[in-house]
Amino acid sequence: MDQVEYIHQCSGEGVDTWNSAMLLYGAALKELETKISILNEEFQNTHQYNPIEYVKSRVKSPESIIKKLKRYGYEDSMENMVTYCNDIAGLRIVCSFTSDIYRMADMIGRQNDITVISIKDYIRSPKDSGYKSYHMLVTVPIFLSDKVVDTKVEIQIRTIAMDFWASLEHKIYYKFEGNAPDYISKDLRECSGIVSMLDAKMLSLNEAIAEAKREDEKKDI
């Protein structure tokens, strides 16, 4: 069962229906956080390496949901919310290196009970603003007492440097209500280029360290 069917079975547009919808989103985040934790522990056990720095999750506020629906020209109904707002439940995975991003995305995509709806790779194709991140829209089955509801979650995977840039961009554009002066937008794009160079340099350094370690191990044999 998808979320729209579930909403239709609930009673109207009242508080109970809202709480039922939010229960699904919260449960979906818990499910994904558990899966990510297990994948991270398995990777650590197998490769003696931890690809994840930290994980953050959030459920969008009612005000943000209504604002987004109005921005896209939709009425603020429960059905429109679950149909057109794909980022109500959001999970952000912050990795050490760019290579970890694609490794994590592949591991998540291979989970049998996760359905990948769409992928947007803003790392290989950044937004005009300079924003870089890897986005996956997935559904997670939530097992209720009498039904299973496939619930949407947006997963964002990025490096520490990308996350730092994105957080500052959000704060800056929030202050200007989305209309920052051209010189600020230009400087942000330049900083995005610096972030890319930093990520590439740190990945190269990490690979060099790993290679040096392998050479030392050969000498000890």
Tell me how many degrees the CA angle 5-83-4 measures, rounded to the nearest 5: 5
Catalytic residue (one of 154, 177, 190, 215): 154
- H or E, element range at 148: strand 148-159
Residue 151 has a CB neighbour count (10 Å cut-off) of 26
Residue 41 bears catalytic tag:
no
3-class secondary structure, 124: coil
Q: Is residue 67 left, alpha or beta, with left meaning phi > 0 and alpha meaning psi from -120 to 50?
A: alpha
CA dist 96 to 106, 134, 160, Å?
16, 14, 6
CB–CB of 75/69 below 8 Å?
A: yes
Residue type, position 153, single letter: V
Q: Is residue 131 left, alpha or beta, with left meaning phi > 0 and alpha meaning psi from -120 to 50?
A: beta
Any idea what DSSP says for residue 2? B
List, by residue number, the catalytic residues: 154
